[in-house]
Copies of this chain bind each other. A is one copy, B any other.
């Protein structure tokens, strides 16, 4: 995913009443606001198993992840998480609640991770996955997880099962700038 570049018509300027540089069109005054993007995903369970996807694409191709991806226009956060599970693992899921909200300011990303239930165990790799698996806790390939937030979500899910209150935020010391 790439950010929209400033086109030649734009100049960097602090608009009236604001406090930071924006891309502003010198001709029409249009301000091109750029804001953080939302990733919606889920810890999907089927009994005592959790759904994992092996990434077919960069970044972190070949590593295991939870179904998650960029939220699209005109959907709810829950619908985004459901769509990603379908796209990446052909998995029909039901959202149970918001587990965590993580921020990754270095890449201007907010990750909304839900708890979800797999409705039908018939799963299969979608175009962005080479493999999918329903793993017990002891089978999780900790050294082959794609992103730090995958580990956070799994550990927070375990904490939630032990009675800790959701939603969780970034673990201490994990705000990457």
A interface residue numbers (CB < 8 A to B): 1-2, 4-5, 7, 9, 17, 20, 30-38, 70-79, 97-98, 101, 103, 105-106, 108, 110, 112, 127, 165-167, 169-170, 175, 177
List 30 A-B residue pairs with CB atoms under 8 Å apart, sorted by A's residue number: A2-B33, A4-B33, A5-B30, A7-B9, A17-B127, A20-B72, A33-B37, A33-B70, A34-B73, A35-B71, A36-B38, A36-B75, A38-B110, A71-B110, A73-B108, A74-B106, A74-B108, A74-B177, A75-B103, A76-B175, A77-B101, A77-B103, A78-B103, A78-B169, A97-B167, A98-B167, A98-B169, A101-B112, A101-B167, A110-B112
Supposing A74-B108, A177-B74 touch, asked if A2 and B30 sit within 8 A by C-beta, the answer is yes
| Besides the known contacts A4-B32, A165-B165, 18 further A-B residue pairs in the complex with CB atoms under 8 A apart | A1-B33, A7-B9, A33-B37, A34-B73, A35-B37, A35-B73, A36-B73, A38-B38, A38-B110, A71-B110, A75-B105, A77-B101, A78-B169, A79-B105, A97-B167, A101-B112, A165-B166, A167-B167
Chain B residues with CB below 8 A from A166, complex form = 165-167
Which 4 residue pairs across A and B have the least CB separation, nearest first? A76-B103, A73-B108, A98-B167, A35-B37
Nearest B residue to A40 via CB reads: B110
Could you say how many copies of this chain the assembly holds?
2
Whether the pair A70, B101 counts as a contact (CB closer than 8 A) is: no
The residue of chain B having its C-beta at the shortest distance from the C-beta of A83 within the complex is: B19
Contacts of A72 in B (CB 8 A): 20, 35-36
